[in-house]
Amino acid sequence: MNGLKGQFGQTNYSAAKAGMIGFSKALAYEGARSGVTVNVIAPGYTGTPMVEKMNPEVLESITSQIPMKRLASPEEIAASVSFLVSDAGAYITGETLSVNGGLHMN
């Protein structure tokens, strides 16, 4: 998400993510004629071992700001990838799919 909205104290990280998004759009143009699709998944807070080690009060503060009131599961992030690489996603290219429970809406 930081590549789409930025975050205080995370200038370098946000810039790197935004660069990846721009790179993917240019690559999508180049690959389109050959039938190659290029997309980005911008995941929100996800229930991974790293996130689950956060201070419980901080994690609760973050979760309370997510409109869906929970973290994503790794399986939900994987499902969005599966969709984009499936036949159902074959005509989608150059997009950034935000999977964040509504925390940041484009």
Instruction: Give the residue numbers annotated as catalytic, written as ranges.
Output: 13
User: Is the sign of the CA dihedral 16, 19, 24, 30 positive or negative?
Assistant: negative
Of all helices (H) and strands (E), which one includes residue 42?
strand 40-43
Find out whether 72 and 101 touch, Cβ atoms under 8 Å. yes
Angle, vertex CA 91, rays to CA 95 and CA 105, nearest 5: 30
Task: Please state, in angstroms and rounded to a whole number, the distance separating the CA atoms of residues 10 and 31.
Answer: 31
